[in-house]
Amino acid sequence: MKFALQINEGPFTHQASDSAYQFAKAALENGHEIFRVFFYHDGVNNGTMYGVPPVDDRNVQQQWSELADKHDLDLVICVAAAQRRGIMDEDEAKRHGKGASNIAPKFRISGLGQLIEAGIQADRLLVFGD
Amino acid sequence: MSEIKKFVYLNRKAPYGTVYALESLEVVLIGAAFEQDVRLVFVDDGVYQLTKGQTTDGIGMKNFSKTYSALGDYDVNKIYIDEQSLKDRGLTIDDLQDLTYEDEDDDWAEKSSINVVSREQLAELISEADVLLNF
């Protein structure tokens, strides 16, 4: 089956991103396809490269980046939500006169249209969050 | 894209206090360009999103309530309000904005976009959805 995932909460405060990650991993291991993972609301904070959780805990961002690297996942951060919350790639940082980007490897920034398209293209769109 | 899916946006939260209502509306407006079958449902505290006469001066938040009246121009004209949620909060339909659209199949007559529905009808709306986005 072809899944799309929407993640609405940031890392650590909520388990939503962890649950989505576990789902994605299990789905891929069982031969399903993940069309796209879309990060919205505080979910965009999953894509910052500057998180340094304690070494005895999981690194939510890194888990996503590694899973994306292994399976060529499309990790999309909503641009409007990201601008409010300070998640930027090189282009965005330059455009808004910010010193540096902070987007983690394998994440990309794009528009809400990517969420709607995921809803259209996937057999199931699953929403993780409150 | 030729395939048309039923998108149901389930709005459950008050307009202020969290960002979900505002960012749900942003998805709806962008999504309108994709020409899908779109329905908006307002349930629980979500019914407050459509109340008339919102003022946010005292809380320093952006008042985005007027944006809802533009939905008709985006061909988003199937809006469902959970009757029980209104009742539970001492609200009636008269407390809500009068959202309308112009029906191109009826000589552009102005019609109400709002439908007050029972829990049974709500359950049906949700079960009919191809894509359910809850905020």
Q: Any chain B CB within 8 A of the CB of A125?
A: yes
Number of domain units in chain B: 1
Q: Which residues of B75-99 are buried (b: 16+ CB within 10 A; e: fewer)?
A: ebbbbbbbbebbeeeebeeeebbeb
pLDDT tens digit at each of 135 positions of chain B: 568 999 999 999 999 999 999 999 999 999 999 999 999 999 999 999 999 999 999 999 999 999 999 999 999 999 999 999 999 999 999 999 999 999 999 999 999 999 999 999 999 999 999 999 999
Among B30, B133, B134, the residue with its CB nearest the CB of A111 is: B30
Distance, in Å, from the CA atom of B135 to the CA atom of B118, rounded to the nearest integer, reads 20
Kindly tell me if the per-residue pLDDT of A24 is higher than 80: yes
Q: Where in the sequence is the domain holding B50, given as residue range(s)?
A: 6-134
B86 phi and psi angles, rounded to 5 deg: -60, -50
Distance, in Å, from the CA atom of B5 to the CA atom of B58, rounded to the nearest integer, reads 41
Domains in chain A: boundaries: 2-128
Distance, in Å, from the CA atom of A123 to the CA atom of A4, rounded to the nearest integer, reads 8
Kindly tell me if the per-residue pLDDT of A4 is higher than 90: yes
Domain for residue B90, yes or no? yes
Check: CB of residue B81 under 8 Å from CB of residue B125.
no
CATH of the domain spanning A2-128: 3.40.1260.10
Instruction: List pLDDT tens digits, range A45-94.
Output: 999 999 999 999 999 999 999 999 999 999 999 999 999 999 999 999 99
pTM to 2 decimals? 0.91
Q: Any chain B CB within 8 A of the CB of A115?
A: yes
CATH at B42: 3.40.1260.10
The answer to ipTM > 0.90 is: no
Whole-number pLDDT of residue B2: 61
Whole-number pLDDT of residue A21: 97
pLDDT confidence of A130, banded at 50, 70, 90?
A: confident
A30 phi and psi angles, rounded to 5 deg: -100, 20
How many interchain CB pairs under 8 A, A with B? 45
Domain for residue B1, yes or no? no
